[in-house]
Amino acid sequence: MRPNPLRLEGDRRLSRIAGPSSLVIFGVTGDLAFKKLIPAVYDLAAGGLLHPGFSVVGYGRREWDDEQFRALVLESIQSHAREPFNDDVFASLREGLRFVEGTFDNPDGFTRLAEVLRELDRTRGTAGNHAFYLSIPPSQFPVVTEGLAAAGLSQSREGGWRRVIIEKPFGQDENSAAELNATVERVFPADSVFRIDHYLGKETVQNILALRFANSMYEPIWNAHYVDHVQITMAEDIGVGSRAGYYDGIGAARDVIQNHLLQLLALTAMEEPVSLEASAVRAEKEKVLEAIAPLGHIPTSAARGQYLDGWQGGQHVKGYLQEDGIPADSATETYAALRLEVNNRRWQGAPFYLRTGKRLGRRVTEVAVVFNDAPSHLFPEVKQSQLGQNALVIRVQPDEGVTMRFASKVPGPAMQVRNVTMDFGYGHAFTETSPEAYERLILDVLRGDAPLFPRHREVELSWRILDPVMAEWETSGKPEGYQPGTWGPSSADQLLARDNRVWRRP
């Protein structure tokens, strides 16, 4: 008998295949579903990671039948999937595609949804296991979760599970996050709620755990005795684009620091968890977030900016205030930087600097751990500033990998030294390509595997760090303008200059 290619002995995917289930997407005609969620489902199917009966139900207002939904799914896959298009994979997926027409507040829509899910249980063997993806504004969460409850869809039945997936923003501050959480958890038990932070689905972000805890050489120096400071950068070269409605009034700090950057900080700074179980990993991240000292004087521990119109990459680009849908007097920041101190034995004395912005020099996300200066008495001709500092840079994207920077002798008769780098790149080291973040996260939801999903407490602690900054900014005028294509406002440079440090120029 020929071995089934999906069931090879020792196949590492085996333990990762999702059981029978379906995914219901609310907001299925939106951008996220089209560009990320549907392509991720296809890529999982193409990788043999989904059950053959896996089904996707789109729920929305359009007067569509299943065929119209299937056409949308096909277009989304053809334009955004990572894996090459395969007729057989699509044909099998297509069989399990259903569309339910309904508004969020109409009980009839939810009744029809319940019927369709029962039909899928019967015909596709989805076994009563259903995940509900709320790719909709948080203001709609209460009505949708209550609609699900009223139609009997929120409670696990006959051994089947029910899970709900929610996207940020998880509130606008600590209080609204708590309210939102209460709304969702009134209907779904806490362990059935999966909060997506798509950065945690990125391979390079998960590699922070492997780098730190699957090696022995970093641990002894991973503390303030050896680390001078840490810089976490998430820079984008794009502007706000068509997302004015979401972004204005939210801004860079709420959009990205509250979630992605504080999660990167937590993974970089946390202690080794006792296992990779969700509760163990989350507990260690929470301890770090809890140990972050409250920001005292905001003007000296935070900086903000707003991009002006100007030139970027040979093109003239609009300033934030000229973008479509942005009020001409908006004070929303498109750049934010924070200086944070983690008050525990490992990190006291080594600050963490976080920055993010739109319309910056280039798209790059990295965590740079910068080490103390070496004594330079043996190299009197070399200025310390030329030597720079040793650094370990986790390159989250693009050009995923890790760089180590250290000094080396320049060939020649003199004892000259210069900084050089040693690189690990995913593209060179592995033949496997990295899955998209949403593939990993959707698979984990279907498998009920939660370490990559922040629980409510983490969200709450992150807001607690940010709330005083936002309160100060709301009452202190406008952000400083910065030119597109640069590395942000001068106040961000001063933030580090006060500590005799400079931002990296990635």
Which residues contribute to the site for ligand BG6 (CB under 6 A)?
A: 236, 255-256, 365
Residue 229 CB, nearest distance to ligand BG6 (Å)? Answer: 23
- Cβ contact 492:199 at 8 Å: no
> Smaller CB distance to ligand BG6: residue 151 or 364?
364
Residue 399 CB, nearest distance to ligand BG6 (Å)? Answer: 13
> Smaller CB distance to ligand BG6: residue 256 or 262?
256
C-alpha 118/C-alpha 139 separation (Å) is: 28
Collapsed DSSP state (helix, strand, coil) of residue 164: strand
> Smaller CB distance to ligand BG6: residue 232 or 256?
256
> Smaller CB distance to ligand BG6: residue 236 or 467?
236
C-alpha 473/C-alpha 471 separation (Å) is: 6
> Smaller CB distance to ligand BG6: residue 236 or 286?
236
Residue 258 CB, nearest distance to ligand BG6 (Å)? Answer: 10
Amino acid (1-letter code) at residue 312: Q
Radius of gyration (C-alpha) of the chain in whole angstroms: 24
Per the omega criterion (within 30 degrees of 0), is the bond before 169 cis?
yes
Residue 269 CB, nearest distance to ligand BG6 (Å)? Answer: 21
Residue nearest to ligand BG6 (CB): 255
Residue 214 CB, nearest distance to ligand BG6 (Å)? Answer: 24
**Joined tokens for residue 171:** 């509130």
Q: Which of 333, 33, 21 is nearest to 196 (CA)?
A: 33
What is the helix (H) or strand (E) element at residue 132, kind and residue range?
strand 130-134
- Cβ contact 41:50 at 8 Å: yes
Per the omega criterion (within 30 degrees of 0), is the bond before 398 cis?
yes
> Smaller CB distance to ligand BG6: residue 102 or 319?
319
How many other β-carbons are positioned within 10 Å of the β-carbon of residue 504? 18
> Smaller CB distance to ligand BG6: residue 255 or 341?
255
- Which residue(s) pair with 335 in the sheet? 305, 357
Residue 255 CB, nearest distance to ligand BG6 (Å)? Answer: 5
Residue 396 CB, nearest distance to ligand BG6 (Å)? Answer: 8
Task: DSSP letter for 309, please.
Answer: S
- DSSP output for 375-409: P-TT-TTS-HHHH---EEEEEEESS-EEEEEEEEE
Q: Which of 132, 291, 282 is nearest to 224 (CA)?
A: 291
- DSSP output for 145-157: HHHHHHTT-SS--
Catalytic residue among 260, 297, 428, 456: 260
**Joined tokens for residue 174:** 């600590």
C-alpha 12/C-alpha 250 separation (Å) is: 41
- Cβ contact 31:460 at 8 Å: no
> Smaller CB distance to ligand BG6: residue 53 or 251?
251
Residue 366 CB, nearest distance to ligand BG6 (Å)? Answer: 12
Is residue 456 part of the annotated active site? The answer reads no
**Joined tokens for residue 207:** 């590699």
**Joined tokens for residue 436:** 């998209």
Residues with a catalytic annotation lie at 260
